[in-house]
Structure 1
Amino acid sequence: MVCETLDDIEMHLSATDYGPYLQNEPSALHTTIIMEKCTLKFVDEYKHMLCHTTEPLSTFLEYITLVLVDTPLAPYFFECITSKDLDDMNIEIMRNTLYKAYIEDFYKFCQKLGGAATEIMSDLLAFEANRRAVNITINSISIELTRDDRRKLYSNFGLFYPYGHKELAVREDIDQSFALFVSLVCAAMEKYPPYLLIFSKLSYGESQMLDKAFYKKEVKRLCLAFAQQFHNGVLFAYMRLREQEIRNLLWISECVAQNQKSRIHLTFDSPGNSVMVVTGICKLFTYLKGYSMKKKWAYKHATSDFKISTHGSSH
């Protein structure tokens, strides 16, 4: 059934976990309200998970939501940056520099987890680093950014590091159209087998299709994270998939609001992934249940030396 209005979307969402967050909204619903309430539900889920974790899982979850104001870097920005520095180009360079530091730190942290967590998170973060390298290269066209400056923004890990980064950094846009520039970048990346299908299927200069292809590839990788159990990567994958779900809901809502229902099917996620996500969420709660049992077992054995007992308890 295709929804005709945003109220129809609200009615369908009322039967889901988003229902309680939308039930008190007035009938004149807007797409931003749907986005806001779905995000609020997502944030509440994150807080619930964070409250039931201990180290190193709590630090792992905090990495996903780190913001600049809560880090030791904040004072340096007030001391070293003036309003004159905050033009469009400098802000983008600053944002990418900070994100590079963040993702590299997150990557190093995941290397210490060991087991399936390290294996899966290394793959997911490496994919993100590879995607950033391509996007930075394409988005830096027509701005005063030297090859060395461009390479400084690339993360120091991933499949493209270091040789792919060298090829991307030397791509110049002098006397080239944007479409040709994008095509040259894609040609340089086709030699990497895991990304061959992404770049080889793109037509001449289709940068927007490149973003869509990366999103689809990411969703598949996130779903595969649920193939193994009892590792922190399932939480990262779950949260990323929920973010994608909210983006899909926003896209559908915008299509309905603008009477462009024929474009609804152009959402990034594919229908075949829905079964995998449901299966993955079941495994997620299996993981959380097992994690909670391990915490109870550890507490019981830690307190047994002090002759602490809970009378009448079945645990």
Structure 2
Amino acid sequence: MFNTKDGFLEATVRGCVGGFLRTEDYSNLQQCETVEDIKLYLTSTDYGSLLQNEASPTHPSLIVRCCLKKIVQDFSFFDLVKAAEPLSTFLQYLKYGYMIDNIVLMVTGAMHEREVTELLDKCHPLGMFDSIASLGAVSNLRELHRIVLVDTPISAYFGECFRDENLDEVNIEILRNSLYKAYLKDFFRLSQMLGGLTAEVMKEILCFEADRRAVNITINSIGTELSRDDRQKLFSDFGHMHPEGQRDLALCRDFEQVVSVIVNSTYQNILQKSTSEEMNIDKVFYETEVMKCSSMFAQQFHYGIFYAYLKLREQEVRNLMWLSECIAQDQKYRIVDGVISIF
């Protein structure tokens, strides 16, 4: 039954895996002297058709923009093929996280009096919706929901963060994390309802995502006015660190305590190479995500590979952005710090 309804799109995604940059590609890219050299090298990859007509000079932002176009191109194909239910709903859920990021970007930019057109250019293309340009006109959460977001798919997520407060920087971050909490809970519900191997692989990756967000929320809120109770309210209601690990994270007062909580959790092995720098925490979590997503392709007949493909493309965008910026700033020695090979 799976092959009859979804087999073609699953095979398409598996075929796209061959287009990822390999370890040898990153080794070659590190030898580039300019961003223009990076562009020239990428023209022989899956990004070639998107880069070949771009005018010089080449900037890192151009590389990133073309990488994002590749992601949109792939998802547009899925829409063109018209995925059957419930896969079509699953694919729509993959876009909701980008919608949340775009909302926060637009509202934060408007608060700092940035131009709407400038902000729209920075929005993720998979997270666009009709009324997004109106976000610059709202001043509190109630207006944000009533005027702009009531007709969007993520409107229901405001039930867990609905307060009539001004949109200052603290409340915007609380909004972001509250929306993500509601989104992950809903996505988890959907994936478990689908059952089978999809439920199994998505449970693992969404629990990981919930745990990573709990760690990041804790690190980012240390030294701020956010109380421990408010911090814990932003954690998801599931995950490998729920509930004991989350309770410990809520009590952390410095970075070393966060590391201690992670070491005593199911993630103790991923910190073996880390030091006391927060940037390494980000990297080891990204490395773990790449490993988990790559392993999804070893199994068949499940929707998790669509999630995995998107996340691996995201990592490739981060890799190329970091690599391009390092070369543009003549800091090639730092490339190894931010690039994570995928296959």
Same fold (TM over 0.5): yes
The answer to whether 1:49 aligns with 2:49 is no
Distance 1:60 1:75, change over 3 A: closer
CA distance, structure 1, for counterparts of residue 304 and residue 90 of structure 2 = 9
Aligned to 1:225: 296
Q: CA deviation at 1:64?
A: 0.8
**2:323–2:339 Cα contact (<8 Å) kept:** no
CA distance, structure 1, for counterparts of residue 91 and residue 84 of structure 2 = 10
Q: CA deviation at 1:65?
A: 0.5
Q: CA deviation at 1:71?
A: 2.6
**1:6–1:256 Cα contact (<8 Å) kept:** yes
Q: TM-score, normalised to structure 1's length?
A: 0.77
Matches within 5 A, 1:52-201: 52=81, 53-66=83-96, 67=99, 69=149, 70-71=152-153, 73=155, 85-171=166-252, 173=253, 181-192=254-265, 194-201=266-273
1:106-160 CA-to-partner distances (Å, cap 9, x unmatched) read: 0000001111111101100100000111111111112222222111100000111
CA distance, structure 2, for counterparts of residue 5 and residue 96 of structure 1 = 38
The residue identity in structure 2 corresponding to 1:40 is K
The residue identity in structure 1 corresponding to 2:195 is G
Aligned to 1:4: 33
Aligned to 2:338: 267
Aligned to 1:247: 318
**1:186–1:200 Cα contact (<8 Å) kept:** no
Share of identical aligned residues, percent? 46
Match for residue 274 of structure 2 among 199, 202, 207? 202
CA distance, structure 2, for counterparts of residue 130 and residue 72 of structure 1 = 22
Q: CA deviation at 1:262?
A: 2.0
User: Which protein has the larger Cα radius of gyration, Structure 1 or Structure 2?
Assistant: 1
Q: CA deviation at 1:75?
A: 11
Distance 1:200 1:255, change over 3 A: closer
CA distance, structure 1, for counterparts of residue 281 and residue 157 of structure 2 = 37
More moved, 40-49 vs 89-98: 40-49
The CA RMSD measured in Å over matched residues stands at 2.0
CA distance, structure 1, for counterparts of residue 293 and residue 157 of structure 2 = 35
The answer to whether 1:25 aligns with 2:54 is yes
The residue identity in structure 2 corresponding to 1:9 is I
The residue identity in structure 2 corresponding to 1:198 is I
Aligned to 1:177: none
SS in 1 for 2:307: helix
Higher relative contact order (CA 8 A, sep 6+): 2
Q: CA deviation at 1:24?
A: 1.5
Q: Which runs of 5+ in 1 are unaligned?
A: 174-180, 275-315
> Aligned pair count?
259
**2:60–2:321 Cα contact (<8 Å) kept:** yes
**1:216–1:268 Cα contact (<8 Å) kept:** no
Matches within 5 A, 1:286-305: none
Q: Which runs of 5+ in 2 are unaligned?
A: 1-27, 101-148
More moved, 229-238 vs 61-70: 61-70
Distance 1:215 1:75, change over 3 A: closer
CA distance, structure 2, for counterparts of residue 224 and residue 208 of structure 1 = 25
Q: CA deviation at 1:222?
A: 0.6
1:283-310 CA-to-partner distances (Å, cap 9, x unmatched) read: xxxxxxxxxxxxxxxxxxxxxxxxxxxx
Q: CA deviation at 1:248?
A: 0.7
CA distance, structure 1, for counterparts of residue 172 and residue 313 of structure 2 = 28
CA distance, structure 2, for counterparts of residue 188 and residue 266 of structure 1 = 24
CA distance, structure 2, for counterparts of residue 74 and residue 188 of structure 1 = 33
**1:126–1:159 Cα contact (<8 Å) kept:** yes
Distance 1:156 1:252, change over 3 A: same
